[in-house]
């Protein structure tokens, strides 16, 4: 599978060595994330909205209410910028200036289209559900026709895309290494806590295996 070709919008100029255009690396970041931020312009006003998403092959899907300003604007062909960021650790340097974070981020540019076909829309919702909780779709009630009609699904092709990644320890000025200050990386991870059953759940229904072993790590 070919890497993404950098464009004027996706080429990483600030610290270019952190730029990543490998398609599989980008997909791993997207598949691990839970929330994207969607930037667009509506009536001359810049707007950024956080929302969930799902990916299948070379398409990113989002869904929401047809009444949403974002879905109305994007459905009409507005240019869109989507970002996903994973924070892997706090990089604590010896100087305030060189503090940083270890992270993996993806930026996507393009135009989204409305998924009109009912079967394709249902498949997109399956993708979204499985992205959030793999194994969930087969257990729950499938969307009704009324629910499908009340949902707008947008598809964004993954064509103009890049990632940016920072790893490793702090990088201090040489003279600061003599300072008697702790420095290093504090790793961060998304770790699920014990699942809390709904109050109206019959007691004999056990927590599913995919919930008990939930993780965002992929591959």
User: What gap in Å lies between CA 10 and CA 7, rounded to an integer?
Assistant: 5
Residues 51-77: what's their mean pLDDT?
94
Domains by residue range for the chain, with CATH: 16-212 (2.30.110.10)
% of residues, the chain, pLDDT over 90:
93
User: What pLDDT is attached to residue 218?
Assistant: 73
Residues 25-41: what's their mean pLDDT?
97
Classify residue 209 by its DSSP letter: H
pLDDT digits (tens, 9 = 90+) for 93-142: 999 999 999 999 999 999 999 999 999 999 999 999 999 999 999 999 99
- The closest alpha carbon to 60, from 136, 9, 111, 14, belongs to 111
What is this structure's pTM? 0.94
Q: Is the pLDDT of residue 1 over 90?
A: no
pLDDT digits (tens, 9 = 90+) for 145-181: 999 999 999 999 999 999 999 999 999 999 999 999 9
Helices (H), the chain: 23-32, 69-75, 118-132, 145-149, 209-212
- The closest alpha carbon to 66, from 28, 11, 14, 116, belongs to 116
**Whether 88 contacts 104, CB under 8 Å:** yes
């Amino acid at each position: 599978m070919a890497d993404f070709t950098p464009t004027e919008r996706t080429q990483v100029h600030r610290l270019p060595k952190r730029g990543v255009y490998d398609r599989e690396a980008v997909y791993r970041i997207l598949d691990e994330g839970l929330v994207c931020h969607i930037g667009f312009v509506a009536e001359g006003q810049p707007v950024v909205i956080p929302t969930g998403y799902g990916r299948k092959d070379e398409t990113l899907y989002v869904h929401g209410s047809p009444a949403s300003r974002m879905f109305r604007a994007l459905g009409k062909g507005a240019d869109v910028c989507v970002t996903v960021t994973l924070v892997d650790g706090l990089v604590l340097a010896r100087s305030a200036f060189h503090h940083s974070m270890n992270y993996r981020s993806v930026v996507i540019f393009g135009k989204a289209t409305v998924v009109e076909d009912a079967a394709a829309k249902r498949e997109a919702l399956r993708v979204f559900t499985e992205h959030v909780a793999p194994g969930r779709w087969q257990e729950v009630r499938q969307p009704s026709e009324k629910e499908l009609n009340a949902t707008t699904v947008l598809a964004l092709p993954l064509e103009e895309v890049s990632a940016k990644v920072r790893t490793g320890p702090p990088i201090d000025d040489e003279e600061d290494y003599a300072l008697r200050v702790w420095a290093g990386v504090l790793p961060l991870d998304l770790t699920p806590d014990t699942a809390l059953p709904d109050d109206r759940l019959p007691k004999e229904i056990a927590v599913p295996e995919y919930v008990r072993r939930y993780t965002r790590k992929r591959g």
